[in-house]
Amino acid sequence: MNRYDDDDLEFYDPSQNSAKLQAEAKNRNLSYQLDKKRETFAMIGTNKAKRRLNKLSESNPLAHAVRLSLEIEDVNIVAKRQRGQYRDKYYEKKEFLILKLINLFLANGWTCGYQDSDNHSASSVIYFEVPECEQISWHSNLSKSKIKCGKYEKEWDGKQNATLEKLEKVTIKILTENKMYNPNELPREKGINFINQKCDYSCGVACAAMVAGVSFEEALEVAKETCDFKKGIEEKDMDYILVKLGCIIDRRLYAEISKQIPHVVLVPSLNIRGGNHYVVIHFSDGVFEINDPQWRRDGCRYYARTVKDPDGVQLKGYSSVVRIYSNKKQSFIEDYK
């Protein structure tokens, strides 16, 4: 990876002459942003949230409604990046799920309805007032004969692309009430468990824990053997911690980032002037990703997960790199091929 040679992907550029190309690029941007919202939804991702809600669906109509709503939005997001018959199939599934949601709403006496659409690609907009949630809606081409609910009399709230954000609050509430949600839970990467640093200057401990496949506390105990981590972890101390935790490593200066293995990388700190900071960089789902231990810590700036990610600060450079070939649990060279 030469400073993020991520296939030189280009997104929306207002200087493009063709209105069609502008629209396509803008749609790709939107699709990417929505995909990232799916990954970070309620800190566990939409797929895990749906599986947990599904366990409650038979006895909890609200959980069933939220689960169906998440499925509709997931299908809607995926459809945006498809073409031709593949896009049509996803939109057909979306219409089928919308009908199921309408029936569920009518059975429970909840408010839903439709309005005519001014969008050339859809005949109507169907609105749902999910209990304990804000108004949500989707464009649809369902015929009026299939839409069993009546006209929706209220106005659209004007919030664009906010469906997942609205559903997130009620999802967390339902799962928390049923003891199925831990607010400290974080998304799992392929081969890497993401771990936040617990305090200032513990970024190195968190990164070591991530690549070694151990808890923050276990890595912290090893760190205490070699340094006062509250003053920062020097490179020789990081090497000691990683090896003691069972990693096979190779330290390089200004080295390229390989697609095959994860790396512990020293970068400029975003929160301490003139300071350094450790992050983990690895290749996942076709892109390089940065696991910054500062991610979403209160009052802290952090690096964006990918070059296309609008959330966070884009990484512009790095110095030393520790390549992680394996830990006690797995060989990354095999897993990342």
**Residues β-bridged to residue 281:** 263, 290
Q: Are residues 25 and 173 in the same domain?
A: yes
**Is the model more confident about 254 or about 292?**
292
Which of the residue ranges 137-141, 322-326, 331-335 has the most confident prediction, judged by mean pLDDT? Answer: 137-141
CB 240 within 8 A of CB 226: yes
319 shares its domain with 259: yes
CA distances from 9 to 15, 23, 31, 54, 289 (A): 16, 16, 14, 37, 15
Looking up residue 327, the CATH number of its domain turns out to be 3.90.70.10
Residue found by looking up tokens 């030393």 in the block = 320
Q: Which of 238, 244, 302 is nearest to 271 (CA)?
A: 302
Instruction: Output the pLDDT for position 188.
Output: 44
Print the domain residue range for 207: 188-335
Please indicate, yes or no, whether residues 246 and 289 belong to a single structural domain of this protein.
yes
- pLDDT tens, position by position, 35-74: 667 777 887 788 889 999 999 999 999 999 999 999 999 8
The string of pLDDT tens digits covering residues 70-106 is 999 989 888 877 778 888 999 999 999 999 999 999 9
Quick one: pLDDT at residue 141?
94
- Whether 168 and 197 map to the same domain: the answer is no
Contact 279, 293 (CB under 8 A): yes
Please tell me whether residues 130 and 79 are part of one structural domain. Answer: yes
Q: Is 4 inside any structural domain?
A: no
The β-bridge relationship of strands 276-284 and 287-291 is antiparallel
pLDDT 10s digits, 131-154: 999 999 999 999 988 998 999 999
The pTM for the full model equals 0.54
Asked if 65 and 130 touch (Cβ cutoff 8 Å), the reply is: yes
- CA–CA distance, 170 with 42 (Å, rounded to integer): 10
| C-alpha span between 13 and 11 (Å, rounded) | 6
**Residue 75 domain-assigned (yes or no):** yes
Work out the pLDDT band at 191, boundaries 50, 70, 90. Answer: low
The answer to whether residue 8 is domain-embedded is no
